[in-house]
Amino acid sequence: MSLGVDINVNLASYDLISRAGFVNLSREASRARRFVSNLNIRTPSIKRKVRNLSGGNQQKVVVAKWLSRESDIFIFDEPTVGVDVGAKVEIYRLIEMLLAKGNAIILVSSYLPEVMGLADRIVVVYEGAVTGTLVRSDFDEEKILRLASGIVNSGDGGKP
C-alpha cells in the first residue's frame, strides 16, 4: 500500500521485465500505464501510492498485479467487498472479459447474488465440508442457503 501504482502492478512479474537483476524501468512504466488504462484505474500518476487511492481503485491495482503475470487461472476472494457500485461493475466486467478469453476463475464470495450472477457452477461449503455442487440450471437461492447452513437434505429434520 505504501508503494506506487507502477511498482504494485509489476510486483508479481518483475522476472518478465528484468534482466540480470536490473529492472527495465521503461517497461515497468509502460506496463503500469497499460493496466491503469485497461482497468480504468483512477490515479493522477502511476507513481501515486496505492494507499492514497479509493478502495475500488486499490482493488483494481491488486487485480492488475495478477493480470500482469499472464496467468490462466485466477482466484478472486471477496473481490467486491468495500468497493462502490461503479467499481463492482468494473470488476464484474473484468471477470467476464477474463472468462471470454478462456481463463478459469475461482470466485470466493459470501454475496450470493454476485456468485449466482457470475458462476457457471457453485460449490457450497459448510464447516470445511462440501455440502453441494450446483450447475447454473440448478441455481436456487433457497437451496444454496440451505446447503450453506449445513442442511443437506430438506427432509432430514434439518441435520447436516
Domain boundaries, the chain: 5-119
Q: CA nearest 110: which of 122, 99, 98, 121? A: 122
- The mean per-residue pLDDT over the stretch 115-131 comes to 94
Alpha carbons 78 and 115: distance in angstroms, whole number: 10
pLDDT score of 80 more than 90: no
- Residues of the chain with pLDDT > 70: what percent? 95
Query: In terms of CATH, what superfamily is 5-119?
Result: P-loop containing nucleotide triphosphate hydrolases (3.40.50.300)
pLDDT one-digit tens code per residue, 27-63: 999 999 999 998 889 999 999 999 999 888 898 899 8
**90-104 as b/e, with b when 16 or more CB fall inside 10 Å?**
bbeebbeebeeeeee
Q: Which residues are bridge partners to 17 per DSSP?
A: none
Task: Tell me what pLDDT residue 159 has.
Answer: 45
- Sole residue written with cell 437451496: 143
Quick one: pLDDT at residue 81? 85
Residue 108: left if φ>0, alpha if ψ -120 to 50, beta else—which one?
beta
Question: What pLDDT was estimated at residue 85?
Answer: 86
Global confidence as pTM: 0.74
